[in-house]
Structure 1
Amino acid sequence: MDDVVSRASALRVSAQEAASCERCALAEGRTQVVFGSGDPDADLFLVGEAPGFHEDRSGAPLVGQAGELLDRLLASIGLARADVYLANVLKCRPLRSRDPLPQEIASCAPHLLRQIELVRPRVVASLGNVATKLLSGRELGITRVHGRARELVCGGERLVLYPLYHPAAALYTPAMLRELEQDFARIPTLLGAEAPDAAAAPPRAPAAAEPVEAELVQLGLF
């Protein structure tokens, strides 16, 4: 318990440091820093791309329509927002919600890696291309790697990296949504828990051409 309290305290300090961050030009146009929210001792850590309009205004990550879909996906595996930790790669909203620039990702990555180090989740679910490429250290797109778990090390801890489609991308694409739902249904297995309806969520077989599950990714603070 003391360790949990200590890590939660360190996470608050990290949030205070991020609130005054000016490592890139995004600091000039933000309403506020969107650091992260949820259980500081969560087993599941979900990483999105960057704050959008609603996140910038509310200060909370992954809200709006995409957030509502995420809430439904979490409920389907017996979880709620209070049970997980949510954050984005970028802590400030890019103007007009454009794609993050490489320099912005590099500037903000230490904040995210520190969050993962302090929360110590069992599974880090990277939502979409930006989070997946950063945390995997590879340029493979999410279409190719979604639903395929691999091992990574962050802050000396061995974790599972689990790439998923971003809920925002699946909102208006039924086929992508079905795949996201199927991939999400595997999360309880990765967490070591029993799925609410195991019969409805058969394990996803890895593609023989690319056995990424055996690959170890080493992450460190920049």
Structure 2
Amino acid sequence: MGADTPARWDARQRALLEAMGVVLWTPSAAPGAAAADTPAAPPAEAVRPAAPPVASVTPVRPPVRPPQASVVAEPSAPDPEPTAAPRADAVAVAPPVRGERAERIAALDWPALRAAVAACQACGLHGGRTQTVFGVGEVPAHWMVVGEAPGEQEDRQGEPFVGPAGQLLDAMLRAIGLGRGASDPAHQAYIANTLKCRPPRNRNPAPDELQHCEPFLQRQIALVQPRIILAMGKFAIQQLTGSDEPVGRLRGRVHRYQGVPVVVTYHPAYLLRQPSEKAKAWDDLRLARRVYAQATSSAP
């Protein structure tokens, strides 16, 4: 048993046990006694049969990690760009913006509104943009399409819905007799986004960013004077309906924004990823066309 006595464990073994959380038990000894190579024979009463030293240690605690293990999960440097916004079931719908700034924007005409958007620095997005994405189309227009936020190509070209998603949108509009540059207001579709600047890495819009841009969108709608608005994508739908329900639950109903009927549908970029949903989008377009026909028939 002497070979298992704690006094015979070397420094490496002790360090290993302590790292595992095992507190060693050692008998009292006079100073310097442990340093002897061969200790004197213990008194007889100390040699009586007893549990081995391990049985007399304190209960084993969970393994103690080395100090550096507690910071392994922490990032080595802060993320250079804001994280993506939270998931759909946690998104906070921004309340309508009120106040002096919104009142000033509400008094702008079209050229002044465009200039105000180009000069806007109300949120941090202005620091990373190539240019603002105001909108495209003739004013006034009977139809208005509102998307979510500019992407990389939109940021470069300064126009909403370009690239594959824009091509699909143009095809969808042509299917119901509309176009970006039609001369007749009844066949024009003015196209804009909820945000006028591209979020970094095409992340989702943040609630405060939507708040800062909402007065611009409100004024655009007032000046475009649409008979109907087609809201495309989750964040445009949230902005225009005030609801954070899933798109699937908001489809098939007519909503209102500043008194204008709003029909919601999926964003063209989503339809490119989920082609099976195009049939539902076509149903939404047909609903929008019926709502528009009803609105124009009752208009003075």
Q: Which TM-score band applies after superposition, normalised by the shorter structure?
A: 0.7 to 0.9
Q: Which residue of 1 aligns with 2:269?
A: 168
Change (3 A) 1:102 1:151: closer
| Pairing partner for 1:28 from 127, 130, 133 | 127
Amino acid at match of 2:143: L
Give CA deviations for 1:17-76 in whole Å, capped at 9, x if unaligned.
110000000000000000111021111111000000110000000111110000100111
For 1:203, the equivalent position in structure 2 comes to none
Alignment of 1:88-167 (within 5 A): 88-153=193-258, 158-167=259-268
The answer as to 2:280 corresponding to 1:179 is yes
- The CA distance in 2 between the partners of 1:47 and 1:35, in whole Å, is 11
The match for 1:190 is 291
Residue 81 of structure 1, CA deviation = 1.2
User: Which runs of 5 or more residues in structure 1 are unaligned?
Assistant: 1-8, 194-222
Shift of 1:177: 1.3
Task: Report what 2:13 is aligned to.
Answer: none
Greater Cα offset, 52-61 or 138-147: 138-147
Q: How far apart in 1 are the matches of 2:170 and 2:227?
A: 20
Gapped regions of structure 2 (runs ≥ 5):
1-107, 182-187, 295-300
**Equivalent position SS for 1:106:** helix
Verify the 8 A CA contact 1:146 1:165 in the aligned structure 2: no
**140, 146, 168: which one aligns with 1:47:** 146
Q: Distance in 2 between matches of 1:189 and 1:32?
A: 37
Q: Distance in 1 between matches of 2:289 and 2:138?
A: 17
Conserved in 2, the CA contact under 8 Å of 1:133 and 1:141?
A: no
Relative contact order (C-alpha < 8 Å, sep 6+): which is higher?
1
Q: Give secondary structure in 2 for the equivalent of 1:81.
A: coil
The amino acid that maps onto 1:77 is I
Task: Please say which of residues 138-147 and 81-90 is displaced more in the overlay.
Answer: 138-147
- The one-letter amino acid of 1:80's match is G
Which amino acid in 2 is paired with 1:102? P
**Whole-Å separation in 2 of the counterparts to 1:57 and 1:48:** 17
3-state SS of paired residue (1:91): coil
The reply to whether residue 12 of structure 1 matches residue 117 of structure 2 is no
State whether residues 48 and 166 of structure 1, in contact with CA within 8 Å, keep that contact through their aligned partners in structure 2: yes
RMSD: 1.4
Q: Distance in 1 between matches of 2:219 and 2:252?
A: 25
CA distance in 2, matches of 1:66, 1:148: 24
Structure 2 contact 263–287 (Cα < 8 Å) conserved: no
CA distance in 2: counterparts of 1:181 and 1:189, whole angstroms: 13
Report the Cα distance in structure 2 between the residues aligned to 1:170 and 1:187, rounded to whole angstroms.
18
Query: 1:102, CA displacement in angstroms?
Result: 0.9
Give the match's secondary structure for 1:45. Answer: strand
Greater alpha carbon shift after TM alignment, 43-52 vs 172-181: 172-181
